[in-house]
Structure 1
Amino acid sequence: MSEDIQRKLQTELDGFKNNQKELQKAIATRQQLDGQLNENEIVKKELDLLPADGKVYKSVGPVLIKTDLVEAKQNVGKRMDFINKEVKRVDEQIISLEKRQDSHRETLQKLQHQFEQAQVKAAIHA
């Protein structure tokens, strides 16, 4: 009986650790997206400061290519929309992983309690 509980406990612990790794990866992704969003917000503010006839250059590899101001603003806006959608998706993933983490934690506590009870019973009957 004790070995069965111990096996379940180990399986649950492995699931908990895997979930924890996924959660850490999702949080790192979220932080990276925040950085990208901040960079794009700064670019947008800078583009908004330019006069209508202002010159904008886009870096393509080692070359700077002249770009239309309106097009540059649209590209930055589209990029920010995409990043915001990714942020939402990752936030939902983080919430889901945190709920799963809580579930693993509860199950681990129950199994730990059952394991301790089984050990006490085994000690009494020994």
Structure 2
Amino acid sequence: MEEDQAKLQALSETLQKFQDDLQTTIDARQKLEAQQQENKAVQKEFVSLADDAGIYKLVGPVLLKQDKTEAVSAVEGRLEFIGKEISRIEGRIQELQEGSEKKRVELLQVQQKLQLAAQQQAGG
């Protein structure tokens, strides 16, 4: 019974770690989605600009003039990278959810075993 108590504690800690990791990963995905929306908004702005329009990029405290094709290319590259990162993080979220669910089931089984043992001790 003591062994089951230790197992229950270990499973609880593992489940908590899964849930913490899952929350951190979900937060990271939300940040990426916000960045993706910002870059999509910039991309839409580029469509309405003339080819010779002045585009400036903020580098530290300085605004540097940038060629439109270079700016468009940079935004498209960022969007591609962000899309891949979101896909990777979605996979990680799936893994964490599955692992968390397995530990939850395992935890419930150990709890039931302990309850049954306690009932048998009380009754016997």
Is TM-score (shorter-chain normalized) higher than 0.5?
yes
Question: Could you tell me which residue of structure 1 aligns to residue 43 of structure 2?
Answer: 44
Question: Could you tell me which residue of structure 2 aligns to residue 74 of structure 1?
Answer: 73
Name the CA distance, whole Å, in 2 between partners of 1:61 and 1:27: 29
Question: Could you tell me which residue of structure 2 aligns to residue 112 of structure 1?
Answer: 111
Q: In the TM superposition, what whole-angstrom CA distance separates every residue of 1:66-123 from its partner, at most 9, and x where no partner exists? A: 1000000000000010000000000000000000111011001100100001111222
Question: Could you tell me which residue of structure 1 aligns to residue 100 of structure 2?
Answer: 101
Instruction: Describe the SS at the equivalent of 1:58.
Output: strand
Return the letter of the residue paired with 2:74. Answer: N
Segments of 4+ in structure 1 off by > 6 A?
Answer: none
Question: Could you tell me which residue of structure 2 aligns to residue 34 of structure 1?
Answer: 33
Return the letter of the residue paired with 2:61. Answer: P
Identity of aligned residues (%): 36
Name the CA distance, whole Å, in 1 between partners of 2:122 and 2:2: 15
Question: Could you tell me which residue of structure 2 aligns to residue 83 of structure 1?
Answer: 82
Aligned length, in residue pairs: 124
Name the CA distance, whole Å, in 1 between partners of 2:10 and 2:65: 58
What runs of 5+ residues in structure 1 fail to find an aligned partner? Answer: none
Return the letter of the residue paired with 1:54. Answer: A
Normalised to the residue count of structure 1, the TM-score between the two structures is 0.96
Normalised to the residue count of structure 2, the TM-score between the two structures is 0.97
Shift of 1:124: 2.5
Instruction: Describe the SS at the equivalent of 2:115.
Output: helix
Question: Could you tell me which residue of structure 2 aligns to residue 18 of structure 1?
Answer: 17
Instruction: Describe the SS at the equivalent of 1:54.
Output: coil
What runs of 5+ residues in structure 2 fail to find an aligned partner? Answer: none
Question: Could you tell me which residue of structure 2 aligns to residue 121 of structure 1?
Answer: 120
Name the CA distance, whole Å, in 2 between partners of 1:4 and 1:123: 19
